[in-house]
Amino acid sequence: MSATVQPGNAPGTSAGALPRRVRIGYGAGSVATGAFGTVPGLMLLPFLTDELAVPALVAGAIVLLPKAWDVILNPIAGRISDRSTDPRGPRRPWLLRAGVVLAVCFALLFAGPDLGSVTADAAWVLVMFVACASAYAFFQVPYVSMPAEIAGTAEERTRLMTWRVAILAFTIMLAGASAPALRDAIGGRDGYRVMGVAMALLILTGVVLSYRGTRHAPIGAVEAGSGTLRDQLRIVAGAREFRALLTTFVLQALATGCMLAGVDYLAGDVLGRTGAATILFVCFVGPALLLTPAWAALGHRVGKRRGYVAASLVLALGAALAAVAGLVDGMPAAAVYAAVGVVGLGYAGIQVFPLAMLPDAAAVDARRTGSSRVGVYTGVWTAGETLGFALGPGLFAVVLAIGGYRSSAGADVVQPDSALTAITLGFSLLPMLLVLASLWWLRGYTLDEQTVDATDTTPTPEGTA
């Protein structure tokens, strides 16, 4: 793709605000990413351990391996989308192509036949999850790449991310609350099958809405960066702000992945209440529906980086409160719900800020060099995000194994006290420590809105970002 970089704007855009229909249309893609990002993290590990009787460590490996494959595939997907040529733009066609495949494979993930052995059932899940992860890479990377090309200023990218995160929060709550409810209403393997098909239809809805909703968005028009994929990865890895932001985000994705994997176990084994998983999810995500605009407003007032720190500290506080509420004997379930609500306050912010800061870093690079590496940036970013969310359930599975968790084939099993303690700590204290540790790396991100919008737009030699 060859074109000219417009002074003062992101590649291929004007400085004007995007139409609301484009913001909403772009945000609708979060219906697909939210459903796929939430349901496997919430339901797949319990499906393997409590329905298919797969041992905890093996189940954790099955959840991890397809996501580890994505770490390799995501930068490649970004490179391919950077070099795609299509009248609809380099990114949009991938939303439809990969999104449809993702929906079909997701339905098959939980709808597999009863193959008669734990090994065969586990192999089906592994193969289908690899297929889902591959399709997701070619949807997610182009999707996350689009803001740096269609929004012309840091402020406009924040507005775009506000819509995306608000829809993402709603989808996470909808999918996270309805998936266990659908499973429990039917029960057994059939419950998981119906749930999987319903979530696949939700994913397909987001795919179609995002593809149609962005048809009037500006099309990026910057020459793709030269050199091999390895050359461009080396350049991206040398960007200090991006590296700091990515490390912070990956550690927080790991923390969120632990909490997501622990919800069903916390609800069923620690709280022992029917419907508790749905309540926990509403407490976790509900605040984001109300507070996403508030976090965006705070970022506009104090800066994205300071807002990100504040949101991270709120989440860590909620996790600490959840540890206390879960470990103290006789503590009412309402105390756990309230603590998770505080986690939700911080979760809304840690979604808004890094997703708004990423396209800032990518746009600064494109405007300094005159070459677009947005897809490679986004591929590396989503690879890190995928790794974090994959390691989260895997790490939680290790905690379960250390605590002596007992797998079963759909039967009720009384867990030892050590397993209950492991569930609580894996859901609360471990994520808190990861979030606090992540703030050490955030110090390396020094871009602010004024720096981003005032970046010299004169193209410089390749690799001088």
Name the nearest CA neighbour of 32 among 158, 111, 163, 139: 139
Q: Which is more confident, 408 or 80?
A: 80
Q: How far is CA 34 from CA 168, 184, 308, in A?
A: 5, 21, 20
Rounded to whole angstroms, the Cα distance separating 233 from 228 reads: 9
User: pLDDT band at residue 315, thresholds of 50, 70 and 90?
Assistant: very high
Chain segment 343-387, per-residue pLDDT in tens: 999 988 898 888 778 877 776 766 666 665 666 677 677 777 777
Rounded to whole angstroms, the Cα distance separating 321 from 227 reads: 50
User: pLDDT band at residue 13, thresholds of 50, 70 and 90?
Assistant: very low
Q: What is the pLDDT of residue 328?
A: 79
Q: What is the mean pLDDT of residues 90-113?
A: 91
Label residues 331-362 b or e (16+ Cβ within 10 Å = b).
Answer: eebeebbebbbbbbbbbbbbbbbbbbbbbbbb
Q: What is the mean pLDDT of residues 304-326?
A: 92
pTM for the whole structure: 0.69
